[in-house]
Structure 1
């Protein structure tokens, strides 16, 4: 899983680099003064490209977390949040790249229409503008390739990762009896209590922990051990009070 995530991070880095090249080529295109209606769409392409780069960088960051972070695999909740953030960022990148290409195609179609039947003074600038857009779209193709490969790589390991997390969460969320280590630690806590009540408290400890999800066992055992001396003192005080009561 880590190798797949590392490969995804490198592929996304390549997609970001190619997008920057496309953005540079796009910045060299200026909408002719004879085509003022198309200037807003050209600006929108630049804004969407910036959003694509941002979402791809975010996806790369989460892929790096999966591929290199030591925090992965220790908490199903954290792992699931990372996977969710990675999926959302990838989805945003795919949506942005489609928006960019769609807007470029619409711009090109509008420019060609003006070149064919627009005012005479706008026809030549519109034809040149359409050629520039075609030229810019060539630099968008490598971005598509990198993003398609990124999505394919993500799909291969994210499905396995999510399935593993689902199994782990299902196991951790089920109420299960304590393991051998938990039983020994609870027995040690009960051994600190007065002899006459050890068995009763030991049974209560086992009964309570058996009604908890497995992920809560360790915390419960620690709380019992931490409070065992205080419980011993309270039980001892209670027994002394009972012993001092006058007989009826």
Structure 2
């Protein structure tokens, strides 16, 4: 069973296996694993869901539990949020994904068990489903096209839930491989000189009045790349081979 410190994701009467699999992928993107299915239209397990889950997210499907009714799926839930884009006659707090998941984190911190309820793809949750929730989540999107598919809605919720655990910035790209020494300033200068000389011979810096700016741009490119000593040797070798074949 999934840890009590994460929201349960309840899919009510989901219609397509592909959407269940895509929702599983969205859940695992943000560390969620407690999927609950209420009366899936095509039964369970569903091979199309497994195919769409794409590898690692299959473990979310392996742990998914199936219930006949929403009430059964919510038996251990203290506070639930129903996702809907449509106005309702029901009087309930209406929250964005961000405010809802901030509220959910506070409730979980106090030992509560929370769930987010998603409706079937075609028409969403019925009023009878929404009535079982404590609050409504509505995404502030373009009012002329407010529809989100199931996986998109799950992804938004998962992202907002994970805000406290996500890094403040994306992981940097271009990290140097372990064990490879960085290129020295002299090695980068020699590499830049080598390419500049050969490009000049090939007539790359044209027209002449633009040559200084082009050379400056190219020099700046080399200096900002996180090159290793091995990288510089490869670039030198590439250029020599091109010259030989030319």
Asked if Structure 1 and Structure 2 have the same fold, meaning a TM-score greater than 0.5 normalized by the shorter chain, the answer is: no
- Looking at secondary structure, tell me which structure has more helix per residue: 1
TM bucket (normalised to shorter chain) is: under 0.3
For normalisation by structure 2, the TM-score amounts to 0.27
State the TM-score, normalized to the length of structure 1.
0.27
More strand by percentage: 2
